């Protein structure tokens, strides 16, 4: 497999997708459901007409690796699609593998003028960033190619990452046969540690995920909440409230009660307590209170209206 540098050629012309599909690439039948050899991984998606434009737009954040495969024309291309998805997962969001079954969606291959399968193409900023890379390859060669791409991204200062399961999959809400949401396997060790009551192990597992991919908001939220559990182990609520009432400017006393309020579901009370602590304190104490509050925001989620209100209150307290 030829290694190629990133470049910035012209944007992809998708006008053919707006016209009735014509002849497919040689040998490709039309219709049928897309096979999804890569659909079970955290950073892959099976492409169809409905999501193709959205996937291309995702390349504005980080590269998308398109893999054109065909069960009828090239059985070996199915393994290529699976291997590319596997390797993309190893980079924790620096790449998204997008597999395109040309048997099922020939119009996409036609619009992109794909001459053969298998074929791989890297998209960045909505444009091809490499020349088409034809042919199947062993997974070790794919890893070498991705490694070269990752080095080029670093050299060019491109640090964006895709969100795990942003286009579907277990973390995005798939359910199993029992009707319960399936767990993204990346979070399984942390969840199992929580279920076993091993809070320290859960914190360590979430920390690994957050360190590997700072853009993984789910891991960051899990880490923040696991730390709340860690900080409150063995705490007595009544004693904590009494200590906080007696020492209104004691950061440790106030943050402990805020954590306990969080666990009790009193999210707004926790936020309000720390906002007022920020307002009353200065210097390092103020910084500690602010950082603790930001951690609680992360545990709840930045899109939560209570967090948005809390951020407004924090800004008012700071300025």
**Is residue 36 assigned to a domain?**
no
Taking only the tens place, the pLDDT of each residue in 182-204 is 556 778 898 888 888 899 999 99
What pLDDT is recorded for position 217?
Answer: 76
Residues 242 and 310 in one domain: yes
What pLDDT is recorded for position 26?
Answer: 36
Question: The domain that contains 147 carries what CATH number?
Answer: 3.40.30.10
Residues 306 and 239 in one domain: yes
Q: Are 122 and 128 a contacting pair, CB within 8 Å?
A: yes
Which of 137, 156, 175 is the last residue before a domain boundary? Answer: 156
What pLDDT is recorded for position 38?
Answer: 44
Q: Are 133 and 2 a contacting pair, CB within 8 Å?
A: yes
Residues 213 and 291 in one domain: no
Reference 28, options 101, 82, 99; nearest CA is 101
What pLDDT is recorded for position 154?
Answer: 72
Q: How many residues does the chain have?
A: 319
Count of domains for the chain: 3
Query: How many angstroms separate the CA atoms of 267 and 244, rounded?
Result: 17
What separation in angstroms does the CA of 178 have from each of 170, 174, 175, 182?
14, 11, 8, 10
**Residue 20: CA atoms inside 13 Å, Cβ hemisphere, count?**
0
What pLDDT is recorded for position 171?
Answer: 36
**Is residue 193 assigned to a domain?**
yes
Residues 261 and 299 in one domain: yes
Q: Who contacts 306 (Cβ-Cβ below 8 Å, separation ≥6)?
A: 267, 268, 271, 300
Residue whose token pair is 């993204």: 184
Six token digits for residue 244: 């906080």
Residues 224 and 244 in one domain: no
What pLDDT is recorded for position 13?
Answer: 52
Query: How many angstroms separate the CA atoms of 69 and 35, rounded?
Result: 10
Query: How many angstroms separate the CA atoms of 115 and 298, rounded?
Result: 47
Six token digits for residue 163: 């969100």
Any long-range contacts for 234-238 (C-beta under 8 Å, 24+ apart)? 235/259, 235/260, 237/264
What pLDDT is recorded for position 303?
Answer: 73
Domain containing 128 equals 44-156
Q: Who contacts 179 (Cβ-Cβ below 8 Å, separation ≥6)?
A: none
Which of 141, 156, 171 is the last residue before a domain boundary? Answer: 156
Taking only the tens place, the pLDDT of each residue in 207-238 is 998 888 777 777 888 899 899 999 999 999 99
| 118 cis-preceded (ω within 30 degrees of 0) | yes
Residues 220 and 251 in one domain: no
**Is residue 245 assigned to a domain?**
yes
Q: Are 169 and 221 a contacting pair, CB within 8 Å?
A: no
**Is residue 165 assigned to a domain?**
no
Q: In the chain, what is the straight-line distance between the N-terminal and C-terminal CA atoms, in Å? A: 57
Residues 195 and 126 in one domain: no
Residues 50 and 151 in one domain: yes
**Is residue 161 assigned to a domain?**
no
Query: How many angstroms separate the CA atoms of 41 and 56, rounded?
Result: 19
**Is residue 169 assigned to a domain?**
no
Element (H, E) at 66: strand 64-69
What pLDDT is recorded for position 183?
Answer: 54
**Is residue 311 assigned to a domain?**
yes
Reference 242, options 232, 256, 229; nearest CA is 256
What pLDDT is recorded for position 8?
Answer: 46
What pLDDT is recorded for position 180?
Answer: 47
Residues 273 and 216 in one domain: no
What pLDDT is recorded for position 41?
Answer: 74
The list of the chain residues with pLDDT below 50 reads: 8-9, 15-16, 18-39, 169-176, 178-181
Residues 203 and 272 in one domain: no
Query: How many angstroms separate the CA atoms of 237 and 216, rounded?
Result: 32
What pLDDT is recorded for position 40?
Answer: 55
Query: How many angstroms separate the CA atoms of 267 and 298, rounded?
Result: 12
Residues 208 and 258 in one domain: no
What pLDDT is recorded for position 23?
Answer: 38
Q: Who contacts 318 (Cβ-Cβ below 8 Å, separation ≥6)?
A: 278, 290
Residues 78 and 134 in one domain: yes
Query: How many angstroms separate the CA atoms of 247 and 202, rounded?
Result: 32
**Is residue 15 assigned to a domain?**
no
Which of 174, 205, 230 is the last residue before a domain boundary? Answer: 230
């Amino acid at each position: 497999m030829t290694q190629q540098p990133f470049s910035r050629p012209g944007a992809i012309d998708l006008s053919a997708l707006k016209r009735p599909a014509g002849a497919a690439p040689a040998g490709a039948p039309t219709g049928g459901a897309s096979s999804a050899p890569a659909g079970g991984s955290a950073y892959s998606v099976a492409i169809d007409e409905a999501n193709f434009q959205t996937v291309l737009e995702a390349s504005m954040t980080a590269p998308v690796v398109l893999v054109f495969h065909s069960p009828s024309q090239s059985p070996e291309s199915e393994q290529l699609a699976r291997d590319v998805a596997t390797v993309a997962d190893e980079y924790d969001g620096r790449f998204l593998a997008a597999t395109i079954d040309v048997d099922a969606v020939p119009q996409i291959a036609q619009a992109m003028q794909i001459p053969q399968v298998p074929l791989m193409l890297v998209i960045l900023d909505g444009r091809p960033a490499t020349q088409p890379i034809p042919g199947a390859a062993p997974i070790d060669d794919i890893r070498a190619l991705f490694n070269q791409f990752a080095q080029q991204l670093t050299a060019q200062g491109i640090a964006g990452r895709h969100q795990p399961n942003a286009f579907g999959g277990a973390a995005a809400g798939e359910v199993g046969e029992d009707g319960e949401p399936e767990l993204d396997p990346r979070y399984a060790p942390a969840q199992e540690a929580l279920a076993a009551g091993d809070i320290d192990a859960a914190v360590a597992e979430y920390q690994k995920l957050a360190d590997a991919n700072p853009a993984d908001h789910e891991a960051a939220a899990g880490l923040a909440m696991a730390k709340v559990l860690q900080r409150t182990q063995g705490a007595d609520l009544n004693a904590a409230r009494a200590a906080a009432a007696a020492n209104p400017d004691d950061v440790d006393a106030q943050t402990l009660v805020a954590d306990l309020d969080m666990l009790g579901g009193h999210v707004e009370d926790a936020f309000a307590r720390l906002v007022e602590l920020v307002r009353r304190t200065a210097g390092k104490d103020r910084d500690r209170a602010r950082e603790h509050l930001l951690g609680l925001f992360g545990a709840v989620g930045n899109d939560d209206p209570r967090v948005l209100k809390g951020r407004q209150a924090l800004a008012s307290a700071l300025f």
